[in-house]
Amino acid sequence: MLTPRVEIDLGKIAHNTKTLIKLYASKGIEIIGVTKGVCGNPTVVDVLVKSGINILADSRLSNIKRMRDAGIQAQFLLLRTPSISKAEDVVKYTDISLNSELEIIKKLSKFALEHSIHHKIILMVDLGDLREGIMPSNLNQNINRIKELKGVEIVGLGTNLACFGGVSPDDDKMKQLSLIADEIEAQHDLNLTFISGGNSANYNWFMATKNPGKVNNLRIGESIFLGCETLNRIPIPELFTDAFTLVAEVIESKIKPSLPNGNISQDAFGKTPEFHDNGMMKRTILNLGLQDVQVDGIFPRMDVDIIGATSDHLIINSKTKELKVGRELEFDMNYSALLSAMTSEYVDKRSINFNNAQEYCEMVEHQYRKHLQLLPRVEIQENNSRLISLKESGFNLIFEPSIMKDHRYMVREDVYDKIGRISRVLDQQDKKLIIRSAWRSFDHQRLLWEDKVSAVRKEYPDKQLEEIEELVSYFIAPTMKSMHSTGGAVDALIYDLKEDCIMDFGTNDGLTMNLNDKCYPYHPYISTKAKENRKLLINIFEDEEFVVDIKEYWHFDYGNTCWALEHGENHAFYGVVEHAELF
């Protein structure tokens, strides 16, 4: 599996989200989900929406665009005060924005009118933290000016505490905000929808207060993702604090001195390091550095000591541990580390572990529907790479018998090379890759479709043909819509030579596949062994930049439109190949 990576437990995030929604609702407070900590990652954000979040907030327009492009159904709030240079995009891509500058609001008004858009604003008031916000004494004159503008509407009042000055959002501050809101509504004939009292730092105030006053909204991110309040980083009861795991790999493991040898000057970052003489030590280097993550915010789950880091290397004292090259180590992260790791393009992001089967299946089906809507929009820039036969490759492969006579199991050239590497990885584990299917002609796809429809009709004689075809379409694409026609799709399983059998993946009896929702790649209700086997299969393909199908753990795409959509690429480079002779 690729390293360094962040493993994201979606089930734990869903649990945290629902728990916090219920908790804050007990005193009449609605929460907005802050997504900047995960850079608007659509898979994570989809869990927030599915768990009951209706408004998503981010400080980066690029993240909001990313969520919109992924089909996330929510209102979007710009968390950071807009800049004049981005005012038009703010109006185009967000529903609401936090504001504290009149000149910027004028620009929002201008572009809202030009685009015939009604843009909502929440005015931020500075209650002492000295970050963004209008001073309370200047609110009235600002509101009078804003009310003269068209295209914008004041829908709320908000404040931000504890982020810059460390000022606690206590009962006095929240009462002050409520009092200001009362005065503003009365003096300006406003009915404010949002009285937004702050962020995850408001937890202690919330738990202590008997009356939240007019505060009816909080902007929550860190508590959802890391399960803690943010004044002292104390875990919140019933929340998971380990939904995110940072994983790095050992790239060197040696016995070395604890003191450098030579004259000490500045390091790569302009600091003069200090070292203590602890004699010889087990000095281990991981493939993780300051270009990947904020190192002072990571905490090893194993009893080792972090000595220091450079751009690309993390040096640890592994103490008594024997850490061989290739060994993976896990780390917890604080918010700053999570933010940097999720921002870094050098850190892989992978979603794992769902706790509730119904919620997981609903999420998969939701993703699948969005996938079908977005797939036709993906541009194809065909690179005309040739089809090559895996049957004639000499790779150590097993081939599932095909419905087509003399089938050659053909794939595009890059896919051919990737399958060769995957085969060699499995060779080292006394396993063989089973190729179930590769490129299919339209005739081949039609025969598969008809064969499966016929089989299901025999199994369910009372079902109408439309019902049967809908059921079959969940796992076999109609003739013209299969990714297999691109030469960039491969169906695969694994044979265990030691056990002399096809591995158990949870829905298969050898090569016979029981098609149901347990075929969804990360279904929680399969055996531990089947989960481990799926993890092996999916990881070896993902390490070669394939993407696993949304509904089929055995199906992998590379280079085609499905791959481009799921991988976040600008375009696909494999289009449909109707006849192998064309290449």
| Local structure of residue 16 (DSSP, 8 states) | H
Burial class (CB in 10 A: 0-12, 13-18, 19+), 154: buried
Contact status, residue 485 vs residue 439, Cβ threshold 8 Å: yes
- The H or E element containing residue 253 is strand 244-257
Q: How far apart are the C-alpha atoms of 159 and 47, rounded to whole Å?
A: 27
Other Cβ atoms within 10 Å of 393 Cβ, number: 16
Q: Which residues of 4-36 are buried (b: 16+ CB within 10 A; e: fewer)?
A: bbbbbbbbbbbbbbbbbbebbeeeebbbbbbbb
Q: Are 489 and 555 in contact (CB under 8 A)?
A: yes
Whether 534 and 506 have beta carbons less than 8 Å apart is answered as yes
What is the distance of C-alpha 120 from the center of its chain?
Answer: 28
Cα 208 to Cα 85, 198, 526: the distances in Å are: 42, 16, 43
- Cβ–Cβ < 8 Å for 379, 571: yes
Residue listed under structure tokens 């929009």: 377
CA dihedral 169, 171, 176, 182 (to 10 degrees): 120
B/e letters for 301-320, b = 16+ CB within 10 Å, e = fewer, are eeebebbebeeeebbbbbee
For residue 314, give the amino acid letter.
L
Contact yes or no for 574/560 (Cβ under 8 A): yes
- Which of 12, 36, 120, 452 is catalytic? The answer is 36
Closest C-alpha among 194, 222, 230 to residue 17: 222
Beta-carbon contacts of 255 under 8 Å, excluding residues fewer than 6 positions away, are 280, 281, 282, 283
Q: Which residues pair with 492 in a beta bridge?
A: 435
Q: For tokens 């029981």, what's the residue? A: 514
| Contacts (Cβ under 8 Å, ≥6 apart) of 382 | 573, 574, 575
405 as an active site residue: the answer is: no
- Alpha-carbon distance of 9 to 7, in angstroms, equals 7
SS3 of 38, please? helix
Q: Under DSSP, is residue 345 helix (H, G, I), strand (E, B) or coil?
A: coil
**Rounded to the nearest 5 degrees, what angle is found at the Cα of 189, between the Cα atoms of 187 and 192?**
105
Of 282, 341, 338, whose CA–CA distance to 307 is shortest?
282
Taking Cα atoms as reference points, which of 440, 452, 400, 392 lies closest to residue 416?
A: 392
Could you count the other beta carbons within 10 Å of the beta carbon of residue 217?
22
- Which residues does the annotation mark as catalytic? 36
